[in-house]
Structure 1
Amino acid sequence: MNALATAFEPARSRNAFASKFYHQTSVQTGLEAASPHQLVVMLFDGLVDAIAQARGAIAADNVELKCRAIGRALRIVDEGLKGALDMKAGGDLAADLSALYSFVIQRLTDANLHSDEAALEECKRVITPIREAWLAIAPQAKAA
């Protein structure tokens, strides 16, 4: 690294830190202001984003990024979406969603093990209608 680049390295580090801090603060503020319905939308959006990042990482042959993105997707599905299901109150719908989320978790795991873009696309195809249905009930969620 040349002297000029070295001189600017601390500034780049500060800028990266400030940018990351701003993003984290923005996300935290969004989470605090979000309704339970909006939080689920944010989980779906994060899942779709993580799947897209994983697909890009596979295409770029970036194993580290692929693993991070799929790991994030797995946590969103398992801890966020599946973990939020109320199996008693939700009845058959909650049971069906739990089974669907288990399927997505398996396919994400397969995608990670085999760098399988088709498995990632399958996860997106399965999740998209649920996300769209969730968005469609937004007016009812606000009224409740």
Structure 2
Amino acid sequence: MLSSKVLKQFNKAYEDDALKAAVYGASPVGLVVMLYEGAIKAIIQAGIALQSQNFHEKARLTSKAIDIIDGLRESLDLEQGSEAAVNLNDLYLYMKSRLVVANLKNDLDIFLEVRGLLETLLPAWQQVDRPGAQL
């Protein structure tokens, strides 16, 4: 189950009341799916802002994506020591560091790299979130 800190992080990242209602009705895996989708959306929008040379908006959206990824990382149960959790932790840290570089260097290719990583993992989480799926 996701911690209250992760839920606060999620609410901070999203201000829409309808989305908040969906968050509280979602399964833990459903929340992960929503977080992935939110991070992808923020990265897409940051790339658009970069191309429009709206650097303030690019920075805001990059911070939003970093906050979401950090929420995903903090929700991992590393105390159980599963290899998957450790690998995801490392990947989330990598994504965060790459987004910082993308923001500093205004590098669209790095935004695309991180987006691609999230889009590669998202279908697996969506599959687990399907009714009847088991962890």
For normalisation by structure 2, the TM-score amounts to: 0.83
- Percent same amino acid among aligned pairs? 31
Q: In the alignment, is residue 112 of structure 1 matched against residue 94 of structure 2?
A: no
Query: What secondary structure is seen at the aligned counterpart in 2 of 1:139?
Result: coil
Q: In the alignment, is residue 36 of structure 1 matched against residue 35 of structure 2?
A: no
Please, which runs of 5 or more residues in structure 1 have no aligned partner?
1-22
The CA deviation string for residues 28-81 of structure 1, in whole angstroms up to 9 with x for no partner, is: 211111111111011000000000000000100001110010000000001x11
| Change in CA separation of 1:90 and 1:128 when aligned onto 2, cut-off 3 Å | farther
Please, which runs of 5 or more residues in structure 2 have no aligned partner?
1-14
Q: In the alignment, is residue 26 of structure 1 matched against residue 26 of structure 2?
A: no
Instruction: Give how far 1:116 is off.
Output: 0.6
2-structure distance, mates of 1:142, 1:42 = 17
Match of 2:89 in 1: 98
Larger of the two Rg values belongs to structure? 1
2-structure distance, mates of 1:114, 1:43 = 25
More relative contact order in 1 or in 2 (CA 8 Å, sep 6+)?
2
CA contact (8 A) 1:37 1:141 kept: no
Instruction: Give how far 1:137 is off.
Output: 1.5
Match of 1:61 in 2: 53
State the superposition RMSD in angstroms: 1.7
Q: Which has the higher helix share?
A: 1
Q: How many aligned residue pairs are there?
A: 121
